[in-house]
């Protein structure tokens, strides 16, 4: 039992929680834009996967992690463009399209890994390493827990603030949210629904892609088939748990990061718990938290309904 | 059917087929393969001999059974993305019964194991159905979570309590006794294929010939109208998810008893997602799903055997399925319909609407 206590009180657990929450948070942030504009994007998982794959490809070919970020973002945004074209321009079924893109992303990444790399395995690539945040990195507990992270943590925090401001405090954000509540009324007021929805979808692709990029370049430094591991779907739950708010997505995603970090720590400790069952924990937690919160949720009114101007 | 409606429907089908084949051609060329020999190798591997046909059918059975369940849920407006989890739990039920009662006669043991497998899948599907009906949790999220939970439970069992102590270290259960194994008719038709046909017929009966089918389809096309007509939404939701889970569980049991004989943590190569694509391409009908499922089984089996001769990556099947689904949605989309109608009107010299 004292082992368990040690795990829960160690600063490295919280550092890991932040690291593991990050991909989920970024994907959820993107999805918040899409859903606020009235688009359900179930293809989040596929966008993360393409982002992770592009990151490893770019980093491997050029040797620079920054190029990896660029390629990862590009591929994820491409997937978002397909989702955008089908759901915004053609008014096709958004959920079915997302499911197809997830299957496609699984297939395409698996295909390309075998086509590009000798032996059919992605190599270890250059990534982003953690650094000590000036002044506070050596603060007791908090220093290790929060301020010895990679650059992505701070980027994500800034993105969250910008997103909250843009979506909640600007006219652009108000109009975008309007598209998610009543696109017909928006159209009659002269608001360009199509353009705003496209912007939301591309932002969503970029954020989810960044989540995938971080998964690859901030943690594992390589790509493996299906490495997004359902995080895109956990992010869908996070959006609902956070009630479509960019800021609330931070604690919601952290919760799942903490569960995953806890599971990993228990797995590598002396505690006599089957490791496989610990790996199931984040998914169990998703269902439980989702079940507790969902009754009070209030989604955008036009969410997921196709809207094509007649 | 008038010409105006028939031509677009025909065009849609043709465009979807040509588009999918074009994507396949690009993938084959990208892999540095010769398209003609590759196609030849795949067709040979799928249909070239009695053994190839038997393999194709074997491969088609779990996907098609799962897809039939996805189709039933889809008609009620629900997405069962949990096929894989349901397959794993189904296979677990079947392997459990087969190993616990090896002395039973085949005539008892085979159906017993199949039924318990089906029941396992039913429970797993029901979970998502109840969560949706009682707590309003999206089945899209919960079924995916239940997939991972099922996967890690199986992984735990086959690495631990159920691991074959005599096996050479692989995380697999013991092989099920012969009395639990499904027969193959005339060395050609696996009994799973017969079960698949029976299941497809039952799904057709359910959807097209029963009051329950009307309720299911009504719920899918207009939830508010159904509720007004007194249909219990939560009952339909739980029912269709139970059916979907049972069919996937049966798929897992059949693959275990008719093909793999052991349960391991790579038991399903992604049949759950394949099944979703199959049901969507089959437009949620029993016949459409059955035909698409058999075609996908043949494709997968053809690619598998072509891997030996022409190094065809198996991920091509997934890419083709995703492309086909995309083309089907585009064909069904309101906006695309407008485009087609407009150009049709234009070609007949009429003013655009």
CB proximity A288 to B under 8 Å: no
Asked if the Cβ–Cβ distance from A276 to B156 is below 8 Å, we say yes
Q: What is the 3-state secondary structure (H, E, C) of B112-163?
A: HHHHHHHHHHHHHHHHHHHHHHHHCCCHHHHHHHHHHHHHHHHHHHHHCCCC
Domain boundaries, chain A: 13-124+149-294
Residue B311 has pLDDT above 90, yes or no: no
Rounded to a whole number of angstroms, the distance from the CA of A285 to the nearest CA of chain B is 9
C-alpha angle A283/B72/B146, rounded to 5°? 10
pLDDT tens profile A222-272: 999 999 999 999 999 999 999 999 999 999 999 999 999 999 988 888 788
> A184 is written with which tokens?
């017909």
pLDDT at B3: 56
Residue B107 has pLDDT above 70, yes or no: yes
Residue B339: pLDDT band with limits 50, 70, 90 = low
Residue B353: pLDDT band with limits 50, 70, 90 = very low
Counting one residue from chain A and one from chain B, the pairs whose CB atoms sit within 8 A come to 155
CB proximity A107 to B under 8 Å: yes
Residue B342: pLDDT band with limits 50, 70, 90 = low
Please, what is the average pLDDT of chain A?
92
Residue B214 has pLDDT above 50, yes or no: yes
Residue B135 has pLDDT above 70, yes or no: yes
Name every chain B residue with its beta carbon within 8 A of the beta carbon of A280: 148-149, 151-153
Burial of A11 (0-12, 13-18, 19+ CB in 10 A): middle
- Higher pLDDT: A200 or A150? It is A200
Q: Are A85 and B339 in contact (CB under 8 A)?
A: no
Half-sphere exposure of B321 (CA within 13 A, CB side): 34
Q: What stretch of H or E contains B190? A: strand B189-190
Asked if the Cβ–Cβ distance from A107 to B146 is below 8 Å, we say no
Per-residue burial over B214-242, b if 16 or more Cβ lie within 10 Å, else e, is: ebbbbbbeeeeebeeeebebeebbbbbbb
pLDDT at A148: 82
Q: Are B101 and B201 in contact (CB under 8 A)?
A: no
Q: What is the mean pLDDT of residues B282-296?
A: 95
Q: Which is it for the CA torsion A188, A190, A195, A201, positive or negative? A: negative
Give percent of chain A with pLDDT exceeding 70: 98
Dist CA A213 CA A67 (whole Å)? 11
CB proximity A91 to B under 8 Å: yes
pLDDT tens profile A71-126: 999 999 999 999 999 999 998 889 999 999 999 999 999 999 988 998 888 999 98
* Mutation site for B-interface testing, chosen from A84, A90, A260 by largest number of B Cβ within 10 Å: A90
For chain B, how many structural domains are there in total? Answer: 1
Rounded to a whole number of angstroms, the distance from the CA of B205 to the nearest CA of chain A is 26
Residue B81 forms part of a structural domain: yes
Torsion of Cα atoms, B252 then B255 then B257 then B262, to 10°: -90
Q: What is the mean pLDDT of residues B297-313?
A: 85
Residue B301 has pLDDT above 90, yes or no: yes
Q: What is the mean pLDDT of residues A41-70?
A: 96
Superfamily of domain A13-124+149-294: ABC transporter involved in vitamin B12 uptake, BtuC (1.10.3470.10)
Residue B29 forms part of a structural domain: no
Interface of A with B in 175-194 (CB under 8 A): none
Residue B208 forms part of a structural domain: yes
Q: What is the mean pLDDT of residues B257-272?
A: 94
Residue B351 has pLDDT above 50, yes or no: no
Asked if the Cβ–Cβ distance from B81 to A99 is below 8 Å, we say yes
pLDDT at A126: 87
Name every chain A residue with its beta carbon within 8 A of the beta carbon of B155: 276, 279
Dist CA B72 CA B203 (whole Å)? 7
pLDDT tens profile B110-119: 999 999 999 9
DSSP per-residue codes, B7-74: HHHHHHHHHHHHHHHHHHHHHHHHTT--HHHHHHHHHHHHHSSHHHHHHHHHHHHHHHHHHHHHHHHH
Asked if the Cβ–Cβ distance from B276 to A103 is below 8 Å, we say yes
Q: CA separation (Å) from B153 to A229, A270, A275, B88?
A: 16, 21, 10, 9
Asked if the Cβ–Cβ distance from A306 to B145 is below 8 Å, we say no
Q: What is the mean pLDDT of residues B28-33?
A: 88
- Nearest chain A residue to B277 by CA distance is A100
> A148 is written with which tokens?
């010895």
pLDDT tens profile B45-92: 999 999 999 999 999 999 999 999 999 999 999 999 999 999 999 999
User: Which distant-in-sequence residues (6+ apart) come within 8 Å of B98 by Cβ?
Assistant: B109, B113, B176, B177, B180, B256, B257
- What residues make up the domain containing B202? 60-283
> A149 is written with which tokens?
């992270």
Give percent of chain A with pLDDT exceeding 90: 72
pLDDT at B349: 59
pLDDT tens profile A193-233: 999 999 999 999 999 999 999 999 988 899 999 999 999 99
Rounded to a whole number of angstroms, the distance from the CA of A151 to the nearest CA of chain B is 30
- At residue B271, the 3 state secondary structure works out as helix
Interface of A with B in 213-232 (CB under 8 A): 229-230
Please, what is the average pLDDT of chain B?
90
Residue B265 forms part of a structural domain: yes
Q: What is the mean pLDDT of residues B207-218?
A: 94
pLDDT at B350: 52
């Amino acid at each position: 039992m004292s082992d368990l206590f040690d795990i829960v009180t160690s600063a490295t657990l919280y550092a890991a929680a932040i690291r593991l929450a990050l991909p989920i948070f970024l994907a959820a942030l993107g999805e918040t834009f899409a859903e606020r504009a009235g688009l359900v994007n179930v293809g989040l998982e596929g966008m993360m996967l393409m982002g992770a794959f592009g990151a490893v490809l770019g980093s491997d070919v050029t040797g620079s992690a920054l190029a990896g970020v660029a390629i990862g973002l590009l591929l994820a945004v491409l997937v978002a463009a397909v989702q955008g074209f089908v759901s915004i321009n053609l008014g096709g079924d958004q959920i079915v399209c997302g499911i197809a893109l997830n299957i496609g992303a699984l297939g395409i990444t698996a295909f390309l890994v075998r086509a590009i790399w000798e032996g059919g395995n992605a190599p270890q690539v250059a990534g982003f390493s953690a650094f000590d945040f000036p002044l506070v990195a050596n603060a007791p507990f908090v220093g290790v827990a929060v301020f010895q992270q990679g650059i992505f943590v701070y980027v994500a925090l800034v993105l969250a603030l910008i997103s909250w401001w843009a979506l909640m405090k600007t006219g652009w954000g108000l109009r975008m949210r309007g598209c998610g509540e009543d696109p017909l009324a928006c159209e009659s007021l002269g608001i360009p629904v199509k353009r705003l929805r496209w912007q939301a979808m591309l932002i969503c692709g970029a954020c989810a892609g960044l989540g995938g990029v971080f998964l690859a370049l901030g943690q594992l430094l390589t790509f493996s088939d299906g490495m997004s591991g359902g995080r895109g779907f956990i992010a869908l739950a996070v959006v609902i748990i956070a009630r479509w708010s960019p800021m609330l997505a931070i604690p919601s995603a952290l919760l799942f990061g903490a569960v995953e970090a806890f599971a990993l720590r228990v797995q590598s400790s002396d505690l006599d718990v089957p490791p496989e069952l610990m790996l199931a924990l984040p998914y169990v937690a998703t269902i439980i938290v989702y079940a507790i919160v969902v009754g009070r949720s209030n989604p955008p009114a036009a969410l997921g309904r196709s809207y094509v101007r007649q | 059917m008038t010409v105006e409606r028939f031509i677009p429907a025909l065009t849609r089908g043709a465009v979807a087929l040509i588009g999918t084949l074009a994507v396949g051609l690009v993938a084959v060329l990208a892999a540095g393969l010769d398209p003609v020999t590759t196609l030849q190798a795949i067709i040979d591997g799928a249909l070239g001999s009695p053994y190839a046909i038997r393999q194709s059918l074997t491969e088609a059975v779990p996907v098609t059974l799962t897809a039939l369940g996805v189709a039933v849920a889809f008609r009620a407006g629900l997405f069962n993305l949990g096929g894989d989890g349901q397959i794993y739990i189904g296979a677990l039920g079947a392997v459990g019964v087969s190993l616990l009662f090896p002395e039973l006669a085949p005539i008892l043991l085979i159906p017993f194991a199949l039924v318990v497998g089906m029941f396992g899948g039913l429970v797993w599907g029901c979970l998502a159905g109840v969560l949706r009906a009682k707590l309003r949790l999206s089945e899209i999220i919960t079924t995916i979570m239940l997939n991972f939970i099922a996967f890690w439970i199986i992984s735990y069992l086959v690495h631990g309590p159920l691991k074959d102590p005599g096996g050479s270290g692989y995380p697999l259960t013991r092989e099920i006794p012969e009395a639990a194994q499904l027969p193959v008719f005339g060395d050609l038709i696996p009994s799973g294929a017969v079960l698949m046909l029976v299941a497809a017929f039952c799904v057709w009966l359910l959807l097209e010939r029963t009051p329950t089918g009307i309720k299911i389809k009504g719920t899918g096309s207009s939830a508010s109208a159904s509720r007004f007509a007194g249909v219990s939404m939560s009952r339909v939701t739980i029912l269709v998810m139970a059916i979907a889970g049972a069919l996937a569980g049966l798929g897992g049991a059949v693959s275990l008893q008719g093909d793999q004989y052991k349960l391991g943590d790579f038991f399903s190569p992604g049949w759950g997602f394949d099944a979703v694509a199959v049901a969507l391409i089959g437009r949620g009908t029993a016949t459409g799903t059955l035909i698409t499922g058999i075609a996908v089984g043949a494709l997968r089996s053809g690619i598998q055997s072509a891997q030996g001769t022409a190094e065809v990556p198996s991920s091509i099947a997934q890419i083709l399925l995703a492309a086909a689904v995309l083309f089907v949605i585009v064909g069904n989309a309101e906006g695309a319909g407008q485009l087609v109608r407009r150009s049709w009107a234009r070609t007949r010299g009429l003013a655009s609407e």
